[in-house]
Amino acid sequence: MVKIDKFAVVESGAEIGEGTEIGPFSYIGKDVKIGKNCKIGPNCVISGNTEIGNNNVFVSHAAVGGPPQDIGYKGEETRLLIGDNNIFREFVTINRATTKENKLTQIGSNCLLMAYVHIAHDCQVGNNIIFANNATLAGHVKVGSFSTVGALSAVHQFCTVGEHAFIGGGSILTRDVLPFVKTVGSRGEGKIFGINTIGLERKGFPKETIEALKSAYRILFNSKMLLTEALKVCEEKYGDVKEVAYLIKFIKESKRGIQR
């Protein structure tokens, strides 16, 4: 059974899944699709061509699916896609895409977006990610699964954040953020502080994998070798460890350069 508060507005054409609840003074647009067992709290706005999966919680005052904040956008049809089991706290904002890539802003599953988080147009956000209060992604940012973005942090447009990355609070990052690594940025000058050992241990990574990542990190960033030379050494020594192989691939494919 769908429960819609008498003070909520659900436009004709919206699709609401079984077991979903919509609180007072919330607005659901005509092109919105919401899955099963979602909870939409009071004063939320869900608009545009937005599709939301199952078991998502919008606590209150969230605004998702609105048009991109891009002066080049002229009202074209674009989308926002949200997975399952996410929590969106107070005043979260997520924008639909522009037409400059694949016309899609996407949020994965099992994510926590704390109060005042902003996800801009065309962002691609993976699964099991935590965004602390006031974290902000500019347009076209990609964030790998199992990452953490600290409170009051901002990531520059077109940057990529690797899987299992940890971004410290108050960071301003203008380059790609390495996977598995702790990064803190100030005025765009991000610094890295080693492998996120505790985070990887909590997620069940084998000791051997963590040690391989730490050894690769030392070769890449603590030796006096050129980065190109250090990458070759890492491939020779640890290329058979998939996490190290991913780290090497990430560095090689970076388009904005890496925080280091």
Q: Which residue, among 191, 182, 198, 239, has the nearest Cα to 215 in the 3D structure?
A: 239
Q: Which of 23, 61, 108, 121 is catalytic?
A: 121
Q: Judge whether residue 201 has pLDDT over 90.
A: yes
Instruction: State residue 188's pLDDT score.
Output: 61
pLDDT number for residue 96 = 98
- 101 and 209 fall within a common domain: no
Q: What is the CATH number of the domain that holds 14?
A: 2.160.10.10
Q: Quote the domain boundaries for residue 122.
A: 3-140
pLDDT at residue 33, rounded to an integer: 99
Looking at the domain assignment, is residue 155 inside a domain?
no
Q: Over the stretch 67-97, which tens digit does the pLDDT of each residue have?
A: 999 999 999 999 999 999 999 999 999 999 9
* Residue from 201, 198, 167, 195 nearest 181 by CA: 195
* % pLDDT > 70, the chain: 99
CATH number at residue 238: 1.20.1180.10
For residues 136 and 7, membership in a common domain is answered with yes
Looking up tokens 């609401």, which residue turns up?
Answer: 16
Using alpha carbons, select from 179, 131, 171 the residue that is nearest to residue 155.
171
Q: Is 150 a catalytic residue?
A: no
Catalytic option among 48, 83, 126, 139: 139
Question: Could you tell me if 12 and 89 lie in one domain?
Answer: yes
Query: Catalytic residue at 31?
Result: no
- The answer to whether 246 touches 165, Cβ cutoff 8 Å, is no
